[in-house]
Amino acid sequence: MSALYRNVIKVADKFVPASAAPFWNHPAGPQTIFFWAPAFKWALVIAGIGDLSRPAEKLSLYQSSALAATGVIWARYSMVIIPKNWNLFTVNIFVAMTGLYQLARIYNYRKSLPPQECPRKA
């Protein structure tokens, strides 16, 4: 797969305009995994935004906790690696925010329930 990818990049190099060359050749640009991993991670943010319409009783505490935690952890990591990857940082901040928002929705929903109806605490 990497040989195929390198060949695609060689062909694409010929079509990159001079004005886009700094972005194209950047250490975290489209020629590296540092670009593509965050680009695809935006799907998690889109899924989290899609869950905003889901009723709070159907949200997963574990999933929301995992999204919030990984968002925070990877946002921090993106600032200590070289090259600094601002795209990775941004997507992880959004992942953390959607996870934290869903956690707040779960908390508010469970707080509004009478004690006998409250689901098992996790």
What's the pLDDT tens digit per position in 11-50? 877 787 888 777 777 777 777 777 778 888 999 899 989 9
Tokens 């952890």 correspond to 73
Tell me the C-alpha distance between 2 and 4, whole Å: 5
At residue 3, does pLDDT exceed 90?
no
Residue 74: per-residue pLDDT: 92
More confident call, 64 vs 8: 64
pTM value is 0.73
38 and 8 share a domain? Answer: no
What is the CB neighbour count within 10 angstroms for residue 83? 11
- Cα(first)–Cα(last) distance of the chain, in Å? 42
15 and 44 share a domain? Answer: no
pLDDT per residue as tens digits for the range 71-117:
999 999 989 988 788 888 999 999 999 999 999 999 999 988 887 77
Q: Is residue 80 part of a domain?
A: yes
Q: Is residue 122 part of a domain?
A: no
Range(s) of the domain holding residue 4: 1-27
Please state the domain count of the chain: 2
Tokens 């009783």 correspond to 57
